Amino acid sequence: MIASSFPVLRLKPKANARAIRHGAPWVYDNELVLDRRSKNLAPGTIAVLEDAERNPMGLVATNPLSRITARMIERDVSVAIDQAWFAAKIKRALELRERLFDHPFYRLIHAEADGLPGLVVDRFDSALVVQPNAAWLEVLIEPLATALAEVTGATTILKNAAGRTRVLEGLDDENGVLLGTAPNAPVMVPMNGAHYAADLTGGQKTGLFYDQRPNHAFAARLSEGADVLDVFSHVGGFGLAALAGGAKSALCVDGSAPALALAELGAKDAGFGDTMSTRKGDAFDVLEALGKDGAQYDVVICDPPAFAPGKAKLEVGLRAYERLAKMAAPLVKEGGYLVLCSCSHAADLGKFRFACTRGIGRADRAGSLIHTGFAGPDHPLMPQLAESGYLKALFYRL
């Protein structure tokens, strides 16, 4: 691709060009002059973004069907967006992860913060799972996959089917395999002394959530000799880490039977089969039942899905976090620990902390906030994009 062949998108005179020049990665539809030509651009088209005075600002990946119509991908408008371009971005991301981790199990590409808007790539040793969340990545999936294999040496590359974009005809294998052969069994992932069973083909998102790694480790430090309750446990994230940290027992609660089966597999693989138990059911129903039974634990952890996935759901989501804290707090023994997590980018830290603390108070409990955790460094935060700082974990001693 050469810059002269790219179509042009132009900012409106009142658009905040300064913010884009200073690193803001997204351009919304109401900031652009959208005529018939630009509205008819195929999703995923690469274009030159110009300011209102027709000065080039960089290359953007476009999608006229999205409110985020343009995503900044490259400041140099003369650069070709090809396999070599992808390889340079991937090498830079890989260098950071290889400094951080002794073993090749981590998030390799974290979207905008790694210069590849909308792209998530998780690494499982020689296998990579790619989640393309923007149309331009679907269009360029072949040079992307080739570059990933070139830089990392991966022998298996899978495309996660749960990505938010539709598969474009002819660009994706029916079974989601971009390279190699899909594994026919869960991949065992060592993390914080625990073993996690990741289903790379049928699991949630890429098969495992690496972002909670540092929070798992902190919870494990609190769990020596403890009875632990892990609610919304998925494949046993906090529960398995707690057992690796010396917990006496861990009860993992989740609504998904396949996820709990993977948790049990991880426990067995690490030798914790006798100390882990699972319970399938709606988390709020289980919390209510445990409360009626008078059950109490030294450590209670709640890591729910996003209750406030966007601004429209913020108030409803905050009430759900408050309710969760109110129901979980009575299950914590005197002097024990309550861990409450949120992956809702719309609920910032202050709002989330207020909702949780209010819920604890409504349960007639009190305590101190001893630690606030965030996503690990393989999930870097882009300072100009508040949405990239989505994960929060609050550790209370009650």
Question: Which entry of 252, 302, 343, 356 is annotated as an active-site residue?
Answer: 343
Q: Is 343 a catalytic residue?
A: yes
For residues 144 and 121, is the Cβ–Cβ distance under 8 A? no
Sign, CA dihedral 50-55-56-57, equals negative
Helix residue ranges per DSSP H, the chain: 17-21, 36-39, 83-100, 135-139, 141-152, 213-222, 237-244, 257-269, 283-293, 314-328, 349-362
Separation of CA 4 from chain center: 36
CB within 8 A of 144, min separation 6: which ones? Answer: 86, 119, 130, 137
Encoded tokens for 236? 């046993």
Encoded tokens for 380? 């870097």
CA distance 210 to 213: 6
Burial of 166 (0-12, 13-18, 19+ CB in 10 A): exposed
Give the SS3 label for residue 131. strand
For residues 73 and 48, is the Cβ–Cβ distance under 8 A? no
CA distance 330 to 256: 25
For residues 319 and 344, is the Cβ–Cβ distance under 8 A? no
Report how far apart, in Å, the C-alpha atoms of 13 and of each of 56, 201, 389 are: 14, 47, 30
Sign, CA dihedral 132-136-139-143, equals negative
CB within 8 A of 169, min separation 6: which ones? Answer: none
For residues 318 and 349, is the Cβ–Cβ distance under 8 A? no
CA distance 43 to 85: 20
Separation of CA 136 from chain center: 20
Give the residue numbers annotated as catalytic, written as ranges: 343
